[in-house]
Amino acid sequence: MPNAESSADKLAFTREFAFSGDTAAMFAARDEIMQFLNAQGIKGDEEIDILVALQEALSNAVLHGCRDNPAKTVHCTVQGDDDEVNITVHDPGPGFDAGSISEFEGGINLTGHGRGILLMRSLMDEVTYRQHGSEVQLKKIRHRPD
């Protein structure tokens, strides 16, 4: 009988982050989140994909949700285990209609907006919007070496 790995055997981690809604704080928060993920064993290509997608999500939250206002707060939750990493970024803004982001033609986004969303979608396994677009969840399936 195959040995099924129980959820108790998986390395599980979770951490909440909060930072002011301005660009200076955003870069420091990104670095702190990535240091946490590195400590959980996120390395190599997964690290690069997550870093770029996280930067886009935080940038959208700060620039669009907070309007680069340090009096507002961005919240980020990082959860994961041996199989996947989930990052949720929430801002206090009004959100947006995620369906309004046009599809790209021939791999190129021909509009002036939404390129970061397309980039996140290409790097992560799932990108889901909630709270009328003021919350994004990024999911990355972890690939274990054989």
**What CATH number is associated with residue 30?**
3.30.565.10
User: What does the alpha-carbon distance between residue 76 and residue 23 come to, in Å, rounded to a whole number?
Assistant: 15
55 within some domain: yes
58 in a structural domain: yes
Let me know if residue 118 belongs to a domain: yes
Domain presence at residue 21: yes
| Contact call for residues 7 and 82 (beta carbons, < 8 A) | no
Residue 1, domain member (yes or no):
no
- Domain extent at residue 120: 13-141
pLDDT value at residue 1: 44
Domain count, the chain: 1
For residue 3, being part of any structural domain is answered with: no
| pLDDT score of 113 | 60
Whether 133 maps to a domain, the answer reads: yes
Q: Is residue 7 part of a domain?
A: no
Say if residues 76 and 88 touch (Cβ distance below 8 Å).
Answer: yes
CB atoms within 10 A of CB 145: 4
Would you write out the chain's pLDDT as a tens digit for each of its 146 residues? 444 555 456 669 999 999 999 999 999 999 999 999 999 999 999 999 999 999 999 999 999 999 999 999 999 999 999 999 999 999 999 998 877 765 554 555 445 567 788 899 999 999 999 999 899 999 999 986 65
Indicate the residue type of 120.
Answer: M
CA distance 57 to 138: 9
